[in-house]
Amino acid sequence: MSTLRYVYGIVPAALAPGIEQASLFGIDDGQVRTIVSEPFAAAYSEVDAGEYGDEGLNDRVRDLDWLTPRAASHQAVNAKLLEIAGVVLPLSFGALYRDDERVREMLREDVPARKERLRALSGRAEWVVTVLRGRAQEAGDGDGALRELDREIESSAPGKGYLLTKRRAAVAKDASERADADAADRALSHLVRASERTYRESVVQGGDDVVVLRVSILAPRSGAGTMDGAIAQVTKELEPLGYHVRATGPWPAYRFGAL
């Protein structure tokens, strides 16, 4: 069977023996090995060239049943590399090379920049925090304007009630937008204090929830309790106001270190 090298991430070369000894298995149960080109090592496993070649991969990534377990394996290997090495530059899903020499060529690219990135990420990890509000749930009526409009609508004739209902929709929209912005600011104020770097992700709205905030956070792994405390504080403040907080991590630094 003809094979390709599927590369998960890059670590310092000195840590390659530990990865070899860890008996890691990745995509399609391929054993994770290393290819070294000082000062780096690439963690990889072999995959079937027929299935993962350019045309095959382009077709299969559209199939979620095929993609989901393999993306999970990709992420799991990089998470284990972070545990073993303390730092990893994770490659995006689908980093494929024809043979060992092609991998070494890749490792010889941008050596000073990669060395600096590994240094900057050593001992650090990434969290992703998302704040959501149910689309059907209104947020914000601090001045009581919506309650007052509700009372007027109840006591109004049909024609006036119709106009007041349209006005109420506009007032509710404005109130929700202000409340969402305030919720995002409050969340960020706690998260920024616990982090070294943050990146506010762009979001696409749709579905049952409004995404008020999605932020990637780089913080020391040794300070995981600090980050957990910040996430808990955000949850404590925002959930009584009708928001839901979802957090994942610690992960390898996909946003801050991915290649």
What's the pTM value of the predicted model, to 2 decimals? Answer: 0.78
- Domain assignment of residue 165, yes or no: no
Given pLDDT bands bounded at 50, 70 and 90, which one contains residue 146? low
- Domain assignment of residue 145, yes or no: no
Q: Which residues pair with 57 in a beta bridge?
A: none
- 225, pLDDT greater than 70: yes
Do 133 and 236 fall into the same domain? yes
Do 50 and 96 fall into the same domain? yes
pLDDT of residue 128: 95
- 108, pLDDT greater than 90: yes
Do 82 and 133 fall into the same domain? no
- Domain assignment of residue 155, yes or no: no
- Domain assignment of residue 204, yes or no: yes
**Model confidence over 57-105: pLDDT tens digits?**
777 888 899 999 999 999 999 999 999 999 999 999 999 999 999 999 9
Which of these, 148, 96, 119, 145, lies nearest to 39 by C-alpha position? 119
Residue 69: cis peptide before it, omega within 30 degrees of 0: no
Do 251 and 131 fall into the same domain? yes
- 150, pLDDT greater than 70: no
Do 128 and 219 fall into the same domain? yes
- Domain assignment of residue 207, yes or no: yes
Tell me how crowded residue 246 is: count the other CB atoms within 10 A of its CB. 13
- Residue 208's domain spans which residues? 124-137+177-257
Do 107 and 190 fall into the same domain? no
- 158, pLDDT greater than 70: no
User: Could you tell me which residue, 225 or 190, shows the higher pLDDT?
Assistant: 190
**Which pair of structure tokens corresponds to residue 93?**
């899903």
- 138, pLDDT greater than 80: no
pLDDT of residue 232: 95
Alpha-carbon span 230 to 222, nearest angstrom: 15
Q: Phi and psi for 201 in degrees, rounded to 5?
A: -80, 145
Do 94 and 63 fall into the same domain? yes
Q: What is the mean pLDDT of the chain?
A: 87
Mean pLDDT across 234-252: 93
3-state SS of the chain is: CCEEEEEEEEEEHHHHHHHHHCCCECHHHCECEEEEECCEEEEEEEEEHHHHCHHHHHHHCCCHHHHHHHHHHHHHHHHHHHHHHCCCEECCCCCEECCHHHHHHHHCCCHHHHHHHHHHHCCEEEEEEEEEEECCCCCCCCCCHHHHHHHHHHHCCHHHHHHHHHHHHHHHHHHHHHHHHHHHHHHHHHHHHCCCEEEECCCCCCCCEEEEEEEEEEEEHHHHHHHHHHHHHHHHHHHHHCEEEEEEEEECCHHHHCC
Do 17 and 117 fall into the same domain? yes
Do 34 and 55 fall into the same domain? yes
Which of these, 244, 231, 224, 236, lies nearest to 188 by C-alpha position? 231
pLDDT of residue 237: 94
Mean pLDDT across 143-165: 64
Alpha-carbon span 165 to 234, nearest angstrom: 34
User: Could you tell me which residue, 83 or 175, shows the higher pLDDT?
Assistant: 83
- Domain assignment of residue 152, yes or no: no
User: Could you tell me which residue, 48 or 171, shows the higher pLDDT?
Assistant: 48
How many domains are contained in the chain?
2
- Domain assignment of residue 40, yes or no: yes
Angle at 176 between CA 174 and CA 182, to 5 degrees: 105
Given pLDDT bands bounded at 50, 70 and 90, which one contains residue 163? low
- 109, pLDDT greater than 90: yes
Given pLDDT bands bounded at 50, 70 and 90, which one contains residue 154? low
Contacts of 169 (CB under 8 A, 6+ apart): none
Do 129 and 110 fall into the same domain? no
Of the three residues 94, 121, 148, the one that is the final residue of a domain is: 121
- Domain assignment of residue 101, yes or no: yes
CATH code: domain of residue 222: 3.30.70.600
Do 67 and 104 fall into the same domain? yes
**Model confidence over 4-55: pLDDT tens digits?**
999 999 999 999 999 999 999 999 999 999 999 999 999 999 999 988 887 7
Do 34 and 81 fall into the same domain? yes
